[in-house]
Amino acid sequence: MTQTAHPSPPHPNSEHTAQALLAPNLSPLSDQSLSTNYIIDHTHLIQSTDPDPISTLQTLIDTHPDHHWIITLAYDLAHTIEPTVPSTSSTFPHIIAQRCSPTSTNNNTNQEHWSITPNQLKLAPKSHYTRIVQTALDYIAAGDIYQVNLAHPITVPFQGDAYALATHLFKSTNPQMGSFTCFDSNQSRHAVISLSPETFLTYDAPTRTLTTIPMKGTSPASTNPNDLYHNPKDRAELNMIIDLMRNDLSRISIPSSVRVTNPRAVHTHHNSVHQATATIQSTLRDHLTLADILRATFPPGSITGAPKVRAMQIIHELEHQSTTPRAPYCGSTIALAPDGSFNSAVNIRTLHIQGTPTNTSPHAFESATLTYHTGAGIVADSNPEAEWNETLTKAQILKTTLDLPLPTPS
């Protein structure tokens, strides 16, 4: 059985011009009348072999100060910031830095298609996930950590144009912090389609204001959002991450400028889930760069746990049993403007497509695997089966938009 999507608007100018998409909330452009389409002028791949990927990124930005950038950070970049966190076998580059130009035109009339094979969907066994959750609970009981985020992969075969799939998903879900980009590396093609609702960091250069909006606590959209707002487990989970993010921001901010401007709010995303967030702001110290900000804050605390370093070590231990590394999942996409302002997303609700490219389009695959990770935050009173169901709730977007035969949370 093969499912084929309706054609969607292709990339502009020519079929061989690479294009990226950004949701309006992710774009740092002040002129929101501009389209969220970007033409990629050049792609720089910063591989895991680079001794200091973040410094290399900063050098690129400093060398081209008048450019827009779309920057994709892999979760595995964490190892270069904190060497006590083991690296994985992922071949996904640590950083994809794409110089780009915003465009409001789309004059290509070709029609592109994509297809998936739903009956070849693979899902991690429930028994495996509940077992690693129980191991995490043992670590919490022993005092190693307070919280850890654990994920598992869902995979399905893919063919065709990833840009077409991205536009279909953008229209279906209207993501707040979504993005699409595509690049070639080591004879493979990669596409990253993020439908993220979560802000990692925003930075307003004129006022030097940093804002982070961590997200913790999930319930189905069919439930009463007040239940999530008042749930003591979810409230405690978010409070832990508020403390972590305050600590991260304090390392790069003017003393006493770090403040929680909204301790708790509940939002509904994709008409599928309610999620709780908090908002924390600070003022960046003088003479610090994007590299300094990333070294202090990456990866996002909401998808690691607390304390962050020990949580990442446990994530590696427990998730490394899977053959599918996180790669772009739980990393970040950054949209950087020439003045230094940027918006960035936590790459959750994110699809990673990897496979054999075609020569008909910079976004097309002859054959590939689509991977979607889904996870949950584990705290002391977590129930392994309930956490499994939360991961399924977060994955229902694949069922509603792509008709993938995922089990329904019980």
Provide the CA 348 distance to its chain's centre, in angstroms.
4
216 is catalytic: yes
CA 126, CA 342: separation in Å to the nearest integer?
39
Q: What are 145's strand-pairing partners? A: none
CA 93, CA 73: separation in Å to the nearest integer?
8
Max intra-chain CA distance, the chain: 60
Q: Per the residue annotation, which of 216, 308, 387, 390 is the catalytic one?
A: 216
Do 150 and 388 meet the contact criterion of CB atoms below 8 Å apart? Answer: no
198 is catalytic: yes
- Cα(first)–Cα(last) distance of the chain, in Å? 27
Q: Per the residue annotation, which of 112, 198, 237, 319 is the catalytic one?
A: 198
Q: How far is CA 98 from CA 35, 43, 255, in A?
A: 18, 4, 34
Radius of gyration of the chain (CA): 20
Please confirm whether the linkage preceding 307 is cis (ω < 30° from 0). Answer: yes
Please confirm whether the linkage preceding 299 is cis (ω < 30° from 0). Answer: yes
Q: Residue 17's CB: how many other CB atoms inside 10 A? A: 15
Q: Which amino acid, residue 300?
A: P
List, by residue number, the catalytic residues: 198, 216
